[in-house]
Structure 1
Amino acid sequence: MHVNGPVGGVNYGRRMRILHTSDWHIGRTFHGVDLLADQALVLDAVAGLVAEHAVDVVVVPGDVYDRAIPSADAVTVCNKGFEAIRAAGAMIVATSGNHDSPARLGAGAAFSAAGGLHLMTRVSEVDRPVVLEDEHGPVAFYGIPYLEPEATRAELGVPSARSHAAILDAAMTRIRTELGGRAVDGTPPRAVLLAHAFVVGAESTGSERSISVGGVETVAASSFDGVDYVALGHLHSPQTLTDRVRYSGSPLPYSFGERSHRKAVWIVDLDADGLREVVRHDLPVVRGLSQLTGTVEELLTGDQFAAAEADYVSAVLTDPVRPQDAMRTLRERFPHMVHLEWNRPEGVTDLRYREKVRGRTDAQIATSFLTDMRSEPTSGETRLLEQALSFAVREPENAAVAAEDIA
């Protein structure tokens, strides 16, 4: 493989091999827990796949970082990931998503391209591909950063556009025109597209930030017609919409809703005629996710929970009385516990307000509230409740005097 443009390279004498990954979200936290160490490990795993399978190009369609202004540590982890992938032998083509900043991610793009890292973050350059070559000829890589309609419609020449679909159509029109201009004897070169969008028919996981404005966020898979492979970003589970339109998903789970996912990348082969084969490769599980239910004592001692000891844990406590300092106590067994909630075993029906107050006195209602929220009040607490309630129904001036007597 070699490159038309600023990047040097070698000719591998075979079809082009591409690894599709996305939504790294470098710098993201998980219920307040720093994930940078986990992210560094999984990026090393991606670099390992590049070396093992002789990948030529790694594509990352958006959300490289989790926020517009990443921390210094996040930038360090990301740069080391890029360096490991380049050292393993692959070029990198990446775009910005709805989390990261196009301006900041794309800073120094011309310089980084000289080292094999192509950052395609400018809307005005959606029709300026990175062109690489294998023994069959050129492959054009087009990058569409996340297109916010309000911010990009004028730049794309569609000032009346309001939906993501309309904006994407404008971008794809530019790309198809540019690609057609590269045709030789009426045949355009092979093309790969990177895009960050929510495509109709795909399923979200709950950990993605919504890109909906007025319910017009989705686009159709047919919007991308005209290219050989579409590498999508934004949704966090690996998904196949058509043979040539796919989400790789995120390399790590970012919500407990993703605990059943096996994270993966796609390795895509292009031959002389275009898309030849796409193979899924699972990524290692850096740390599992478990959701547990039981009393504090059951969680601390139950053998059935042993498999979760090394996982990130979310627990629902069913103790009859709200446990004190439960997080600290449970972290003795589950050091990576990140979330707790308490759910009384009686369930929701006992807490329905209308059912609980019907035909009951104020004192009974207040006593029941204390019991639900904490535990049954003592006799002394009950007397104080009755006194407070009796003062509350008196004339205001008398209630004030009575309150002073209690004080």
Structure 2
Amino acid sequence: MPSLIDAWRHRPTHHKVWALALPMILSNLSVPLVALVDSAVVGHLPHAHQLGAVAVGGMLYTLIVGILGFLRMGTTGFAAQAAGRGDGGALRQVLLQGLLLAFGLALLLGLLAVPFSGLALGMMTPSAALDDLTREFFHIRLFGLPAALANFALVGWFLGNQNARAPLAILLTTNLLNAALSVLFVLGLEWGVAGAARAAVLAEWSGALLGLALSRGALRRHPGRIDWPALRRWANWRPLLAVNRDIFIRSLALQGVFFLLTVQGARLGDATVAANALLLNGLLVTAYALDGLAHAMEALCGHAIGARDRLALRRALVVTGLWAVLGSLAFSALFLFGGRLFIGMQSDIAEVRAVAYVYLPYLAALPPLAVVSYLLDGLFIGATRAREMRDAMLIAVVLALPIGWWLQALGNHGLWLAFLCFMLIRGLSLGAFAWQLQRRDGWFGQ
């Protein structure tokens, strides 16, 4: 206990945590701005299918890009450990590998995306007008795919260097420029739906170019050389690819849970699925905010592991963890006492509001359960131990599915109880893996 108190009292660690967390919280909260602005701008065009095209095309693009978020997470851990060792050559190699992987995946997915979009639209059976405009919007957005994936690698690399200002600059530039260009192209130049897509592409490439420019300054502080012959050897790619593979599997499993939650809610009626969507928006707000602290955990723990500094690792865990727990309790209080206002701000449909009010206690219980998995994910990412993240997620899914089946008779109450159990099992599984590693001093065993 005294060691925990001593770690919490270490003021420099508090400063490091918030120097990383605050810019990332601001960056994360800027992300929803793009969809809101696109909807508001295109929503002023005369036809409903124009807004529908942006919504559907944007969803298809986000689905492709979203499952590749492992490019950021995988890059962060390796960069943090290289920075902790003071290895400038390894930092350059991690950045280059991340960018090469981003462009390679962009090329591969670009070839697969067109038939994928045709298959997805075929399943939706949209009107001819909506189908044509959606394809136009989606095909233009694909030109920004290399930049979007490069931004993942760049943001992860900067976080690994404990530099949160550069990701803030990249994400704010991308999102704010997208908003401004969307207004100009759609309403000013009257380019319609295609204008919204072009605005997004230009914004993504602007963010990527800014990130590359900022990386030059960061590399000057870490002298070193790239071992070019090493890049041609498979052994030097295997660790990064293995981590990204495991995070990819973990992300697919998590998206599957949310998909099942939506499907089961839809079977309970329109008002129920709409109410659940409003409640889950509360989870998203919580995740965007608390992820800033999880990002700080990734960078600080990865740096400590790279430097083999056990005291710095303990301090990072205690300070970041306690701040995140306090934040999660604040969100619980917000949803418990201000939940009706939160729901009312999102919808004025009386039936949907009434259903959502019933399930507000579940939303209030969610942040303290979810924060454990957010933080431990950050620890495992910093340690480049994605296998444990994957296994914990799969364990949670396998155990939560029969719970959900068993609670079906309780309707939406059963659905929310099963989701809370999923988040609890996920956190406990990650905690068990972390405890095992701690017992055998496994964080420093790689």
TM-score between the two structures when normalised by the length of structure 1: 0.29
- Structure 1 or 2, whichever has the larger Rg, is 1
Higher RCO structure (Cα 8 Å, ≥6 apart): 2
Specify which structure has the higher proportion of strand. 1
